Structure 1
Amino acid sequence: MSEPRLSASFWVQAYMRRLSLYDIPAFVVAHGDDTAGAVLVTLNTLDGQAQIFSRSFDLMSDRRQWVEMAHGPEAEMAETIARQRRTDPDLWVIEVEDRQGRHLLDQPGLSD
């Protein structure tokens, strides 16, 4: 039996709060569908580089997990996000800015 899913807006609010507890700046760049929108997280390390994380389903463990979708120059990652938004207008985009590369997506409650 699968676990109940949180609404996208609830998860985003919880994630933003968790980041604020660690003094990690983050911004909702694109507000997707409140209920079922997918979420992309961009990690900007403020050195011209960025990573994009998306949620995927791991068939081996039967769980959802965050995986790196792309990484590279910040401008290229912005274009990758723009392409995704053109095909999925319900997509949420959160930008995390942290020189240390912290995104917290591997923490309990956020990773699963």
Structure 2
Amino acid sequence: MAADARLTSATLVAALRRRVTAEGGFATVVVRGDDISGVILVQALERGRFTGLFERVPNLDGNYALMPCGPAPEDGAEALDQYIARRRRSDPDLWIIELDIPNAERFAAETIC
């Protein structure tokens, strides 16, 4: 693979879904974005309780990191819904994937970063 080649967003999301499911968790695509280069947001849940929202972002060394974004879990569902609506208006190519598994952030970071 060429040094500048990278996996598509669709491939990364599919791999994450398979990995979470294989570990006994639940993963679903809430919003399907651009297959090639859509930004990926991960809604982390544990036993149905929202624990955080994370975005896959490029870092300075040319790789990717998973960074917290959006409202804190204690801000409630309405704040999360409003944040996601704003993000979708400004970026229609955005992916949103929901993971319900302990340590969802770790699973996502290990798979898509």
User: TM-score range with shorter-chain normalisation?
Assistant: 0.7 to 0.9
Q: Which TM-score applies when normalising by structure 2? A: 0.81
Partner of 1:64: 64
Identity of aligned residues (%): 28
Runs of at least 5 residues in structure 2 that lack an aligned partner in the other structure: none
Report the residue type matching 1:102 in the other structure: A
Matched residue count: 107
2:45 counterpart of 1:44: yes
Aligned-residue Cα RMSD (Å) equals 2.0
Q: Is the 8 A contact 1:29 1:95 kept in 2?
A: yes
- Cα deviations by residue, 1:46-71 (Å, 9 ceiling, x for unpaired): 23x44111012222x33211111132
8 Å CA contact 1:9, 1:35 repeated in 2: yes
For the residue of structure 2 that corresponds to 1:94, the secondary structure is strand
Tell me how far apart the structure 1 counterparts of residues 20 and 65 of structure 2 sit (CA, whole Å).
18
Of the three residues 89, 92, 102, the one matched with 2:104 is 102
- SS of 2:78 mapped into structure 1: helix
CA deviations on 1:26-84 (whole Å, 9 max, x unpaired) are 1101011111111111112323x44111012222x332111111322233222211110
Partner of 1:74: 77
Q: Counterpart of 1:105 in 2: which secondary structure?
A: helix
The two structures have a TM-score, normalised by structure 1, of: 0.81
Q: Which has the higher helix share?
A: 2
5+ residue gaps, structure 1, are: none
Residues 29-38 or 69-78, more deviating: 69-78
Equivalent position of 1:21 in the other structure: 22
Greater relative CO (CA pairs within 8 A, separation 6+) = 2
